[in-house]
Amino acid sequence: MPRVGQPLPIAQFRARDRVRDRSDDQLHDALLQRDGDALAQIYDRYASTVFSVALRVIGDREHAQDVAQEVFLALWRAPENYRRERGSLGGWLASAAHHRAVDVVRREEAVLRRVERAGAEAHLAVRESEQSEPVHESAWQSWQSRVVRSAIGELSEVQREALMLAYFGGLTQQEIADHTHVPLGTIKTRTRAGLQKLRDTLDAGAVTDLNTRRAGENP
Amino acid sequence: VTAFTAAEHELVQDEALDLLLAGVEPTDRDQYDKHLAQCPDCTQFVSDVARMGEALAAAPALETPPPQLRDRLLAAALQEPGVAQPGAAAAADAPSGDEAQPPATLRSRRVDELSARRDAAARRRNRVVSRVGAAAAVILLAASIGWGLTQRSAHDDAADRAQRLSQVVNSLSSPGPVQVASIAGKNGVVATAFVRPDGALVLPANLPANNTDNSMYVLWSLVSPTDSAPVPIGSFDVTSSALTSAVMMTGRAPSGNWFAISAEPGRTVPSAPTTVLGAGQA
């Protein structure tokens, strides 16, 4: 068995079938104990979510991979930064990916993020009817994704535009106002109303709590 | 409890929107945090926005990362301080008396090492992000040169982005079935196609600008990857100013759920693709 400082074959560092049913909280507990298998299992559970949001924001698979790796490494380095009482592990990882990705594109500006924003926007708008996702353990995540996209579809056009430009375009309220030639106050109103409508739709629908169910669970 | 003015509440909530949706730090982070610490209403607002941010993060259709990312991540994790043994599962696999489970003191020391090196880890993270940024800058520069992009202001770029995003949303939000296909070539995805019975829209992802005088791209529909009679759905151009735009086309209804993009010499749609750049299934 390898000792401290000795490289470990990656094959030994994989999630095992016997622990695949561990909950997110159990996996987080294991991470706090420096359990590498837990990291592998968390990756297996949320890699697609993390990678997808990074990809939608950045628009480049290579850079999205870098962001995804950094998100999981950050969790591995400091698992205590995730506070389970504040939300789900999946949501926390996705938000971390979004934050890092937006940080990258805001500094780079231009082509990469524009491409991705457009792609993300379009995906959001049209893929509700998607039949399947080629992701092994993502039944719940796929369903969750469709529910959110459906809720986004309930927004008015201007509300949706404001939210998408902010979230997937990394534009501030002022920047959206500047670039759409709409008064700042109007943009703020649209954004807030859009968020409120999104929350109401999600809360009123089948998704009573998007943040409590685990990956792999079917609705 | 401090009595805040309405303007102060609005400022904090505006900054919360920019922070949680667009990733932009508040102008005065200390003041922002201080306000939240004393204001339940704004704290609730931030909590709600954060929750919706998490929901939005779940919205993109799932994309599978390449398998090598997993190995890369785990290899990198192994290089972190205090990691040199498999976790509980591996320990459970080990025979009784095996040394897989480290002594408690050793484990504590590893945690201590981790804490002690957290600052260094943060610096490494920053460096990695910087490298990401540098690489993106190189790609951007190369793209700008290769595609002949002229220097444009950020204002113009963002205005274009807003306009085109609106175009995409408007185009795709109307009722009716849509087939979506990622068109991938040997070097990855080149475009995403959204195909309706009455037309199609293409989001170029990695298509160079073509000469609109003597060349064009064509989107084809195929019954299967080996379809010998692909149907041209429509043609489109990728120009320097439209590298990231949606391209609306009208043409024939798709014959199947496979799609391909070809580069064509000339401005007439041929009966069969000339140079296939990529294909994908809806």
For residue B150, pLDDT over 80 is answered with no
Q: Is the pLDDT of residue A126 over 50?
A: no
pTM to 2 decimal places: 0.52
- What integer best gives the mean pLDDT of chain B? 67
Cα B219 from Cα B213, distance rounded (Å): 18
pLDDT score at A78:
92
What's the CA dihedral at A170, A127, B54, B4 to 10 degrees? 60
Average pLDDT over residues B24-28: 91
Residue A193 pLDDT > 50, yes or no? yes
CA distance B61 to A145: 6
CA-to-CA dists, residue A185 to A176, A198, B4, angstroms? 11, 20, 21
pLDDT at B133: 36
Mean pLDDT of B15-41: 93
Residue A218 neighbours by CB under 8 Å, 6+ apart: A139, A140, A143
**Confidence check: pLDDT of B226 > 80:** no
Q: What percent of chain B has pLDDT over 70?
A: 57
**Element containing residue B221 per DSSP (H, E):** strand B215-222
Q: What is the pLDDT of residues A25-47, one digit of tens each?
A: 999 999 998 888 889 999 998 99
Give the pLDDT of residue A196. 93
pLDDT band at B212 (very low <50, low <70, confident <90, very high): confident
The residue that leads in pLDDT, B271 or A21, is B271
User: For B209, how many CA atoms within 13 A lie in the half-sphere containing its CB?
Assistant: 18
Q: CB–CB of A57/A105 below 8 Å?
A: yes
Between B203 and A157, the higher pLDDT residue: A157
Please tell me the predicted confidence (pLDDT) of residue B87: 36
Which chain A residues are within 8 Å of B23, Cβ to Cβ?
98-99, 102-103, 106, 170
User: Mean of the per-residue pLDDT values for chain A?
Assistant: 74
Q: Of all residues in chain A, what percent carry a pLDDT higher than 70?
A: 67
Closest in B73, B160, B162 to A165, CB measured: B162
> Could you tell me the two tokens for B172?
């795709």
- Distance (Å) of CA B186 to CA A52, B202, B206, B272: 21, 19, 12, 20
Residue with token string 């294909």: B279
Which pLDDT belongs to residue A70? 95
Complex ipTM: 0.74
Instruction: Give the distance from residue B137's alpha carbon to the nearest chain A alpha carbon, in angstroms.
Output: 6
> Any idea how long chain B is?
282
Q: Is the pLDDT of residue B142 over 60?
A: no
Please tell me which residue of chain A has the smallest CA distance to B205. Answer: A115
How far is B247 from chain A, CA to nearest CA, in Å?
Answer: 11
Residue of B38, B56, A167, A184 lying closest to B12 (CA atoms): B38
Bin B162: left if φ > 0, else alpha if -120 < ψ < 50, else beta: alpha
How far does the CA of residue B120 sit from the closest CA of chain A (Å)? Answer: 11
DSSP string, B21-39: HH-PPPSSHHHHHHHHHH-
DSSP secondary structure string for all residues of B239-264 = -GGGTTS-EEE--PPPSSSEEEEEEE
**In the prediction, which pLDDT does B54 show?**
85
Distance CA B175, CA B171 (A): 10
Best of B43, B49, B68, B73 to disrupt the A interface (most A CBs within 10 Å) is: B73
Across the interface, whether the CB atoms of A199 and B192 are under 8 A apart is answered: no
